[in-house]
Amino acid sequence: MTRTVQYFSNEYLQSCQQMTSGQICQFLDDFRKLHGSPKQVKAKPPSKLISLKVDNDLLEEFREKCEISGLRYQTQIKTLMADWCN
């Protein structure tokens, strides 16, 4: 994979240092709109924090299996819940 290296002139860097916070926010928002993928632009539905009691052995086995598979265990729990509901 080849990556492009971008160089900035001293004049450009000096002008950036003089930007106001409002100008920086506008630049970042424009950049996000221009370069963000449709998934990133869409807001995620809000999540709800829950408390769940699970047997220690079961949880450890589940976490280890997820780690071996390269999955995050909480994400896998949500995936299993969504699959079961559909």
Residue 53 lies in a domain: no
Q: What is the pLDDT of residues 6-59, one digit of tens each?
A: 888 999 889 889 989 888 888 888 888 887 755 555 677 888 999 999 999 999
Residue 34 lies in a domain: yes
Torsion of CA 61, 54, 47, 86, to 10 degrees: 70
Residue 64 lies in a domain: no
- The model's pTM is 0.48
Count of structural domains, the chain: 1
Domain span at residue 26 reads: 10-41
Residue 67 lies in a domain: no
Residue 42 and residue 33 in contact, taking contact as beta carbons nearer than 8 Å: no
Residue 59 lies in a domain: no
At 14 the three-state DSSP class reads helix
Helix (H) or strand (E) holding 74: helix 73-85
Residue 62 lies in a domain: no
Residue 71 lies in a domain: no
